[in-house]
Amino acid sequence: MNPDPINAPAEVTSSRELGLDLAAIAARYLFGTDHLHYGLWTEGLPVHMSNLHKAQEQYADMLLATIPEGTKTILDVGTGTGALAKRLIDTGYSVDCVSPSPYLTERARQNVGDAATIFECKYEDLQTNKRYDLVLFSESFQYIPMERSLAVSQE
């Protein structure tokens, strides 16, 4: 017997988490991209949906270009679908990820496989003894309580 979906207890989900999950689904199936960020729209690249993937790749290129020399370990906070984490891993970095969304965590696992540990929690709730050369907040810092996050970063 199937449970009644109308009267089944709902999983507690914030509208922000639901929005990110829906954005990941739309990005993948409507626009053919696994990235959730807005992209880097450089001069000469018209702001148009047909250029979204290019803008997203340009953003990832810019992030990789700004990683300080000597960086080996990276914590990707708010990894989304893991697309950027995979690119970092493919470039030779040791990467772990933070993902509070069950749907996005599953997508990230598909992208990074066993190459990264994915902490299934909010950044401010992260508990690990590992230390990282770089903590990367691609576009996730806006979703994280600043005071608590800075304290976690210093720990």
Per DSSP bridges, beta strands 73-77 and 118-119 are unpaired
Instruction: Find out whether 28 and 83 touch, Cβ atoms under 8 Å.
Output: no
Q: pTM (2 decimals)?
A: 0.69
- Given the structure tokens 């979703």, which residue do they identify? 143
Domain boundaries, the chain: 15-154
Buried b (16+ CB within 10 A) or exposed e, 62-96: ebeeeeeeeeeebbbbbbbbbbbbbbbbeeebbbb
Cα–Cα dist 76/138, whole Å: 8
Has residue 12 got a pLDDT over 60? no
Is pLDDT above 60 for 36? Answer: no
Band (pLDDT 50/70/90 cuts) for residue 104 is confident
CATH number of 15-154: 3.40.50.150
As a whole number of angstroms, the distance between CA 115 and CA 108 comes to 11
Tokens, residue 12: 């507690």
